[in-house]
């Protein structure tokens, strides 16, 4: 029978309607419609959840609709809900439009009353199996719907004692009443024994689970809106705990830690799926534990699914008496390292570039560029017996920090600015705040699909699971491992790739993130964006890394280069001098001397040089700005002392010659805001062989960009400086978290000037973009500082900018962001 309300069956639902069906419901509908073996079921849409949360009660008509669907499920399965000959049991699962793994609630094995238990024992011939289901159901319902803590802890022994061939009714009575007593002592509540009441109770609990503290914390952390609501999936159960040839597992279509192709996952024979996810038993690799025929079917299906979804997937499955059922499919959470490899591999396997670039973010690229331990030191630590144990590497990264044993302390320590490694027997959703606070996480049990592993990967936090030799003693506040006892507060180090836990800290070195696969992917992104990205370098040794990162040119600054090569005193003394030729000649010599090796390293590339700047904030200490400009006020306007510009031009010209004359060099002067200045600069540049141009930092300069560009070979605009000027903030405040993080949190600014181009600045930049197209002989570009957000990159690309200069570490992230922007990702 068709219903018109808020439910739809896996067969009828539109898999594209993720907002309404949630990710889980949509995935199940898609798999069902592809002909995969999915236990039948239906989805209650997110609209019902929103209405429940708004009104505090089940929306009118929903209960009736649930009963109609129940009838359909009975017909589809040939089983009866709450009776025999073969009883229908259900799973009631939450599934939000945005993946929130493990954050909300599921009730399995629902529909067991005494009659159903007896019938099921008759159908399966196994009273102990049924007793296990009764205990599992009671515990899950008590926990999820009634909020009991750790229910059912005392009944495991009773289940073990049930004779498989014995009286199922008596077993049901024993288990149910033991569970009931325990629950009554704990909460004073009881689990309804009427299956229909159980079903409505579970549905309401899933609705409510949208607003639990842990779900809200997760959404806050990931920037997920709070008003989406969750869908509810009601589905016929299949039983991985039925027999030895049954079991359940989770498989990734590629390795989610490294990105390597090939099935990667875990299987636990004779278990229900929750046993795998809970991490309380350590499962086996699917490739070893599954029967060959089942493994082959799984492998083939995963390949097909990957192709139709255009992404690497995380698939939950259950095997019931050697028959494979699919229970969930979703995009796999993956480490940054895996994301990079996967996106590159998928692109080379023929996935459209726009889709492949959608699978890796600038932030992930930053992460694979992050620092790690010094290899030699790690080797010495292994030999010197600092290696305590090796678990399963779940999220790579190399971190040191002080050991903490619970999440509250982890958060307190992190709030106080300390770096911590959180050690737990196992993590649960209640540990989220500690996991966010920690630099690294290590658990004693669980596999690479356990809660700790999945959440750490989503957070990008270094994580090791299944460190089974580790004993965490929460009352003594100690960890015993490898024959040693560590106290809370002791320094430890964790390697999330190798799974190693060390005593003591390490110094960290910076590795290069360059892989051939990433290089190829970024090459495609650069091609798609049509942009040039110039990288900021200071020393000749920086050049190779910038080029390897995909820089199409280099930018540098005279004062930075002289400071980095030990000439700061000489430079300041020259500036403090009387301005006669002795001072500027010295500067020309220093520039020639130090730019020669830099230009030699740059080869035949473009090198943009910024002139000495005595106005900028940053120059205050570096160049003793106050002393210099007090004595020589003319140095605080851009072209106040033409001889200083001439000296830099002369030095650069000599450096070009001495380095072999291949680099294309231009000098840009900061804070120019008037076409007259630009024309004067052009005169200074004439005959030197060095291009010249303005480096705009003010709204006035931006407004004059067209006429300024007319007089130059290049034109740069520093976005941060213009944003700061428009906001009336010191430019350096746009490079740090505080004070702006706190200020924005108070709602004091409608736009974050660090990540978003303010509408007023957009207006200014539109004129600059106009200059870029109307004065083609002048190369117009934007200087971007600090981390460039995807959002800002997209805004600037859409305005027509195609030339950028960034800090060296931002080269790859920006190339990617611009490629994504160009393809509308």
* Contact of residue 268 among Mg ion, ligand ADP, none (CB under 5-8 Å per partner type): none
* Contact of residue 230 among ligand ADP, Mg ion, none (CB under 5-8 Å per partner type): none
CB-wise, 316 or 606, nearer to Mg ion? 316
CB-wise, 275 or 316, nearer to Mg ion? 316
* Contact of residue 237 among ligand ADP, Mg ion, none (CB under 5-8 Å per partner type): ligand ADP
CB-wise, 456 or 655, nearer to Mg ion? 456
CB-wise, 42 or 176, nearer to Mg ion? 42
* Contact of residue 712 among Mg ion, ligand ADP, none (CB under 5-8 Å per partner type): none
CB-wise, 274 or 406, nearer to Mg ion? 274
C-alpha to C-alpha distance for 825 and 816, rounded to whole angstroms: 11
The span of 325-333, 363-371, 482-490, 605-613 binding Mg ion (CB under 5 A) equals 325-333
DSSP designation for 698: S
* Contact of residue 574 among Mg ion, ligand ADP, none (CB under 5-8 Å per partner type): none
Position 230 contacts Mg ion (CB under 5 A): no
- Closest distance between Mg ion and the C-beta of residue 8, in Å? 20
* Contact of residue 108 among Mg ion, ligand ADP, none (CB under 5-8 Å per partner type): ligand ADP
**Closest CA relative to residue 22, chosen from 230, 327, 329, 314:** 230
* Contact of residue 392 among Mg ion, ligand ADP, none (CB under 5-8 Å per partner type): none
Strands 508-509 and 372-373: antiparallel
Q: With b meaning 16 or more CB within 10 Å and e meaning fewer, what string describes 84-119?
A: eebbbbbbbbbbbbbbbbbbbbbbbbbbbbebbbbb
**Closest CA relative to residue 477, chosen from 468, 469, 467, 486:** 486
Binding mask 514-543 for Mg ion (x = CB under 5 A): ------------------------------
Q: Are 202 and 107 in contact (CB under 8 A)?
A: yes
- Closest distance between ligand ADP and the C-beta of residue 165, in Å? 25
- Closest distance between Mg ion and the C-beta of residue 24, in Å? 7
- Closest distance between Mg ion and the C-beta of residue 95, in Å? 8
* Contact of residue 102 among ligand ADP, Mg ion, none (CB under 5-8 Å per partner type): ligand ADP
- Per DSSP, the three-state class of 641 is coil
C-alpha to C-alpha distance for 806 and 534, rounded to whole angstroms: 6
CB-wise, 277 or 782, nearer to ligand ADP? 277
- Closest distance between Mg ion and the C-beta of residue 12, in Å? 22
- Closest distance between ligand ADP and the C-beta of residue 601, in Å? 52
- Per DSSP, the three-state class of 332 is coil
Complete DSSP assignment for 494-542 = EETTTTEEEES---EEPPP---HHHHHHHHHHHHHHT-EEEEE--SHHH
* Contact of residue 462 among ligand ADP, Mg ion, none (CB under 5-8 Å per partner type): none
- Per DSSP, the three-state class of 678 is helix
- Closest distance between ligand ADP and the C-beta of residue 220, in Å? 19
C-alpha to C-alpha distance for 344 and 335, rounded to whole angstroms: 14
State both tokens at 328.
């969930």
C-alpha to C-alpha distance for 762 and 52, rounded to whole angstroms: 42
| 706-711-715-717 Cα dihedral, nearest 10 degrees | -50
Q: Are 248 and 271 in contact (CB under 8 A)?
A: yes
The span of 149-157, 264-272, 321-329, 413-421 binding Mg ion (CB under 5 A) equals 321-329
Task: Please pick, from the candidates 328, 335, 450, 723, the single residue that binds Mg ion as defined by CB under 5 A.
Answer: 328
- Closest distance between ligand ADP and the C-beta of residue 298, in Å? 14
CB-wise, 99 or 673, nearer to ligand ADP? 99
CB-wise, 111 or 638, nearer to ligand ADP? 111
Distance of CA 759 to the CA centre of its chain: 28
Q: Are 575 and 631 in contact (CB under 8 A)?
A: no
CB-wise, 279 or 813, nearer to Mg ion? 279
- Per DSSP, the three-state class of 435 is helix
- Closest distance between Mg ion and the C-beta of residue 98, in Å? 14
**Closest CA relative to residue 138, chosen from 111, 164, 171, 119:** 111
Contacts to ligand ADP by CB under 6 A: 39, 91, 93, 101-102, 106, 108, 235, 237-238, 248, 272-274, 277, 316, 318, 327-328
Which residue ranges make up the site for Mg ion (CB under 5 A)?
Answer: 316, 328
């Amino acid at each position: 029978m068709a219903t018109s309300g808020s439910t739809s069956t896996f067969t009828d639902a539109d898999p594209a309607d993720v907002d309404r069906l949630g990710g889980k419901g949509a995935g199940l509908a898609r798999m069902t419609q592809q002909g995969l073996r999915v236990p039948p079921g239906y989805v209650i849409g997110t609209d019902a959840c929103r209405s429940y949360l708004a009104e505090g009660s089940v929306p009118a008509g929903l209960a009736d609709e649930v009963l109609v669907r129940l009838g359909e499920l009975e017909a589809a399965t040939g089983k009866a809900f709450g009776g025999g000959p073969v009883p229908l049991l259900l799973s009631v699962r939450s599934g939000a439009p945005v993946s929130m793994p493990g954050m909300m609630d599921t009730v399995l094995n629902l529909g067991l009353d005494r009659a159903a238990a007896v019938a099921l024992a008759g159908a399966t011939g196994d009273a102990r199996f049924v007793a296990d289901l009764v205990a599992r159901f009671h515990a899950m319902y008590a926990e999820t719907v009634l909020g009991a803590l750790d229910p059912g802890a005392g009944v495991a022994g009773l289940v073990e004692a049930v004779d498989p061939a014995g009286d199922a009714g008596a077993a049901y009575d024993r288990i149910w009443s033991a569970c009931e007593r325990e629950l009554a002592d704990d909460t004073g509540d009881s689990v309804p024994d009427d299956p229909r009441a159980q079903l409505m109770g579970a549905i309401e609990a899933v609705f409510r689970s949208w607003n639990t503290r842990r779900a809200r914390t997760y959404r806050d952390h990931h920037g997920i809106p709070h008003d989406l609501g969750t869908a509810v999936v009601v589905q016929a159960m299949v039983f991985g705990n039925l027999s030895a040839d049954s079991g359940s597992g989770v498989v990734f279509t590629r390795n989610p830690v490294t990105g390597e192709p090939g099935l990667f996952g875990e299987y636990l024979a004779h278990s229900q799926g929750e046993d795998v996810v809970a991490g309380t038993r350590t499962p086996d690799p699917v490739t070893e534990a599954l029967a060959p025929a089942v493994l082959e079917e799984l492998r083939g299906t995963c390949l097909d699914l990957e192709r139709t979804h255009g992404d690497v997937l995380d698939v939950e499955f259950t095997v019931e008496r050697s028959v494979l059922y699919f229970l969930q499919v979703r995009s796999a959470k993956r480490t940054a390292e895996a994301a990079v490899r996967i996106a590159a591999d998928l692109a080379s396997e023929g996935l459209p570039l726009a889709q492949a670039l959608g699978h890796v973010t600038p932030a992930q690229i930053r992460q694979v560029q992050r620092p790690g331990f010094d290899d030699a030191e790690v080797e010495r630590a292994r030999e010197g017996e600092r290696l305590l144990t090796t678990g399963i590497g779940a999220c790579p990264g190399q971190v040191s920090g002080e050991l903490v044993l619970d999440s509250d302390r982890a958060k307190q320590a992190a709030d106080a600015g300390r770096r911590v490694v959180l050690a737990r027997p196992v993590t649960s959703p209640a540990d989220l705040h500690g996991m966010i606070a920690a630099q690294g996480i290590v658990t004693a049990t669980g596999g690479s699909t356990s809660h700790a592993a999945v959440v750490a990967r989503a957070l990008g936090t270094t994580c090791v699971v299944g460190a089974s030799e580790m004993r965490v003693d929460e009352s003594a506040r100690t960890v015993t491992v490898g024959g040693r006892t560590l106290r809370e507060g002791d320094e430890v180090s964790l390697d999330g790739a190798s799974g190693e836990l060390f005593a003591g800290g390490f110094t960290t070195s910076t590795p290069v993130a360059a892989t051939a696969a990433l290089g190829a992917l970024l090459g495609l992104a650069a091609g798609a964006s049509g942009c040039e990205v110039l990288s900021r370098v200071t020393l000749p040794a920086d050049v190779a890394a910038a080029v390897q990162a995909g820089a199409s040119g280099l930018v540098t600054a005279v004062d930075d280069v002289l400071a980095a090569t030990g000439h700061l005193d000489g430079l300041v003394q020259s500036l403090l001098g009387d301005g006669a030729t002795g001072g500027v000649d010295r500067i020309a010599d220093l520039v020639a001397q130090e730019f020669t090796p830099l230009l030699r390293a740059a080869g035949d590339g473009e090198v943009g040089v910024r002139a000495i700047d005595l106005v900028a904030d940053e120059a205050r200490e570096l160049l003793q700005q106050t002393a210099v400009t007090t004595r020589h006020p003319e140095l605080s306007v851009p072209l106040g002392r033409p001889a200083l510009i001439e000296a830099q031009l002369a030095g650069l010209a000599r450096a070009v010659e001495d380095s072999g004359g291949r680099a294309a060099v231009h000098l840009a002067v900061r804070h120019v805001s008037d076409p007259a200045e630009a024309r004067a600069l052009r005169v200074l540049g004439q005959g030197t062989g060095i291009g010249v141009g303005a480096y705009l930092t003010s709204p006035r300069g931006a407004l004059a960009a067209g006429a300024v560009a007319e007089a130059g070979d290049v034109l740069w605009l520093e976005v941060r400086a213009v944003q700061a000027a428009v906001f009336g903030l010191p430019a350096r405040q746009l490079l740090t978290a505080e004070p702006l993080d706190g200020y924005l949190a108070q709602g004091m600014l409608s736009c974050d000037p660090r990540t978003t181009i303010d509408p007023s600045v957009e207006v200014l930049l539109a004129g600059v973009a106009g200059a870029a197209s109307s004065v083609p002989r002048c190369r117009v570009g934007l200087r971007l500082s600090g981390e460039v957000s995807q959002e800002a990159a997209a805004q600037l690309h859409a305005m027509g900018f195609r030339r950028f200069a960034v800090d060296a570490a931002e080269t790859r992230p920006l190339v990617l962001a611009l490629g994504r922007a160009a393809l509308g990702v």
